[in-house]
């Protein structure tokens, strides 16, 4: 068996135990992260509507991580936040 290969993606270390090529950053990976971010945003809105503050917080963290992976530009993130905040206060 070959030596394990360790890669770092942000703050996550991954160990690859096979001799397969190490995954590279790709447009498909970024698009998937964007999709996940949008899905989590919907869940976050539902959690906020139901006053599930801790769950909404964790979902916001997951969305922030997905945005980081998707490389959402910093100037677009406040707009993304505003979309979420607008629904938090709707009663």
Q: Is residue 2 part of a domain?
A: no
Residues in the chain, overall count = 91
- Does some domain include residue 53? yes
Rounded to 5°, angle at Cα 57 from 55 and 62: 95
Range of the domain at 67: 25-88
Q: What is the CA radius of gyration of the chain?
A: 17
19 belongs to a structural domain: no
The pTM of the full predicted model, rounded to 2 decimals, is 0.54
**Which DSSP string do the residues of 8-42 spell out, in sequence order?**
EETTEEEEE-SSSPPP---HHHHHHHHHHHHHHHH
> Which pLDDT does position 53 carry in this prediction?
96
How confident is the model over 31-81, as pLDDT tens digits?
999 999 999 999 999 999 999 999 999 999 999 999 998 887 666 654 555
SS3 state of residue 79: helix
79 in a structural domain: yes
How many independent structural domains does the chain possess? Answer: 1
């Amino acid at each position: 068996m070959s030596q394990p290969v360790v890669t770092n993606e942000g703050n996550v270390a991954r160990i690859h135990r096979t001799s397969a090529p190490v995954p590279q950053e790709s447009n498909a990976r970024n698009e998937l992260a964007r999709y996940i971010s949008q899905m989590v945003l919907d869940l976050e809105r539902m959690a906020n509507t139901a006053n599930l503050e801790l769950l909404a917080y964790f979902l916001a963290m997951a969305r922030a991580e997905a945005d980081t992976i998707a490389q959402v530009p910093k100037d677009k993130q406040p707009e993304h936040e505003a979309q979420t905040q607008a629904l938090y206060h709707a009663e």
